[in-house]
Amino acid sequence: MSRPVALVTGAARGIGRAIALALAEGGYDIAVADRAEADPTATLDAIEAVGARGYFAGFDLADLSAHEAALAAIRDALGPVDLLVNNAGMGAVVRGDLLDLEPANFDRIMDVNLRGTLFLTQRVVASMLAAPAAHRRAVVTVTSISASHASPERTDYCISKAALSMFVQNLALRLAPTGIGVYEIRPGIIRSDMTAAVAEKYDRRIADGLVPAGRWGEGSDVAGAVVALASGAFAFSTGAVIGVDGGLGLARL
């Protein structure tokens, strides 16, 4: 068990799978965390194909009572977590007028995107601090350009990501003296299951110049940023916010 261990949430598919595979190729063993009903086969097969060990932890991120058992199972299977990648998240339950936002839908997205992520991170970091470090340790959280750019038709999603961003800043300050790096990645328009339903709309808007780079982002773009931050090359940049958006977040005239 000489390889470092990365826990990637939402890793059964999409961006999470791309992150998990890139980290496996970079020397990590991978704990693939996702909902219990998710199918992790493709992710685990890809991880093992590059010579890394993979383990599936199936649990509901919103269920705080499930966190302890899941993390214990990961430790037993792979060893202590050196890198936490908070990637799991959900989009707005219903897109529409913010004046019609339902409390239950608001609560659901907060439970996953903010509350579940915050308290899972709390447990993982506590475990990191409780034992000497054998490898470089870091927490990388994937938020969204929606942390800073408003979309009134999905206000609940934007709020969840803005709040998560503030959590990352506070965590970075708390952990700076410990040497545990804390980073935020803000993707822009990334091709994924979450954006599939609005792909035609964004195809048009990208063609019209919405994204300066002129293309969709891919899961590999986010994965490359995660690998770079986890490497230790940005150790003195703890708290940094990295835009992976093709220039979408830049102010323009």
- Give catalytic residues, as residue numbers: 157
3-class DSSP state of 21: helix
CA 116/CA 59 separation, integer angstroms: 11
Of residues 16, 10, 26, 60, the one with CA closest to residue 190: 16
Give the C-alpha distances (Å, rounded to integers) separating 216 from 15, 110, 161. 13, 27, 20
198: how many CB neighbours lie within 10 A of its CB?
13
- Contact status, residue 20 vs residue 8, Cβ threshold 8 Å: yes
User: Quick one: how many helices (H) and strands (E) in the chain?
Assistant: 8, 7
